[in-house]
Amino acid sequence: MATNIQHEEINLSLNNDKKAFEDLSGFFNLLAQALEKVDQANKELIECLKKIQKQLSSEIPKLAEVVSLVAESMSVGQKKNLEYVDLIKSKIILSLNGQLEQIKTKQKLLDDYKAKTAIEADRDQKRKNTEPAKQKETYQAYEQAKKEKMLAGQTLNTQYQIYINEKNQEFCSMWKHFLNMQMYCCAAGLQSFSKSAQEIHNREQEVKKDAEIFLSKLLGNQRNQLNFSYLKRLFPNLEQILYTGKFTSLNEFDKCTQLWHQAGFQGPFFLIKLTDQCVFIILNQNSTQDFIRTIKKGLTFELNKGTQWFYFNFQDEQQKVFNIWFQEQQDFENFKVCLERMVK
């Protein structure tokens, strides 16, 4: 239920963004088409910004402050020339239309996630109603549906986070272009616009931080909840996810040829704590067979830094040697600390 509520909040946020960008696009088109009514159009735009500020104030307050600064600067503006209109057409409206296209893309991802959820529920019901002799086939279909739903949810969350970050950057960039042109075209109000543009520039990091807070509140531990729910089905005695990796590809060492080759496992990976043991698992995207190994005291492993990558080599109970690679040092360090603690 919590996941459904969170995705409805994402949908509501996207709809609010869509309305805000459509309103802005309409107002800027009005400015470009009606130079003789620039003063009146500016007043209407200020009102639009106030509405947007009100919408943003509860979600991203710092971004709402940026919008407020723009509205205050416009209140002292005068008539704009053709260069001002050219800026509106070539920069601002184009940017707003781009944001609207991004919103459409994210709404499609949300619809895909909802569809995957419905398929999972349908296959789960079929699995429960299937005769014992045919349950294997329906169970595999159900497991595949669960995995597709989980991947759709992860894709949605990742792409939505990227959208939020890019939206804020584009929003700040758009207003900086707008205000810089205002300063160029307007004699009166130059000082006010200059101050506002500098304020926006100074607050970019604050806006980014506010956006991260908004994302954490909106998405919360949704990704962890999805992972935990899925892993709980595999391991009923699951107690805690100690480490989560976004993606890896498993390699196996061939002792005969002394060469590494792909082992056929790739996907998100985890270190998890069960009631009686700790486990390393890769949720395989290539098939329904996942890579699972128990972490025991005395496990033979090597954590090191290569030329450009960080790697983790280990030998399992069957004396097979495997490795996974890390691109980011911080991910590697976190994994190392967690693994060493588990082995001890």
Q: Is the pLDDT of residue 60 over 80?
A: no
- Range of weakest confidence among 27-36, 115-124, 179-188, 333-342: 179-188
Distance, C-alpha 120 to centroid of its chain: 23
Distance separating alpha carbons of residues 94 and 108, to the nearest angstrom? 22
b vs e for 67-105, b when ≥16 Cβ sit within 10 Å of the residue's Cβ? bbbbbbbbeebeebeeebbebbeebbbebbeebeebbee
More confident residue, 56 or 120: 120
Residue range 236-343 in CATH 2.30.29.30? yes
Distance separating alpha carbons of residues 59 and 53, to the nearest angstrom? 10
DSSP annotation string for 281-313: EE--SSSSPPEEEEE-TT-EEEEEE-SS-EEEE
CATH number belonging to domain 2-223 = 1.20.1270
| pLDDT classification of 108: cutoffs 50, 70, 90 | confident
Distance separating alpha carbons of residues 18 and 12, to the nearest angstrom? 10
pTM as predicted: 0.38
Q: Is the pLDDT of residue 24 over 60?
A: yes
User: Domain spans of the chain?
Assistant: 2-223, 236-343
| pLDDT value of residue 109 | 86
On the CB side of 255, how many CA atoms lie within 13 Å of its CA? 6
| End-to-end CA separation in angstroms for the chain | 38
Q: Would you say 281 and 292 are in contact if contact means Cβ atoms under 8 Å apart?
A: yes
Distance, C-alpha 183 to centroid of its chain: 36
Rg (alpha carbons) of the chain, rounded to whole number: 26
Distance separating alpha carbons of residues 5 and 293, to the nearest angstrom? 35
Which of 33-47, 102-116, 286-300, 301-315 ranks highest by mean pLDDT? 102-116
- 3-state SS assignment for residue 258: coil
| pLDDT value of residue 1 | 43
**Which two tokens mark 113?**
């996630």
**Sheet strands (E) in the chain:** 238-254, 259-274, 278-282, 291-295, 300-305, 310-315, 321-326
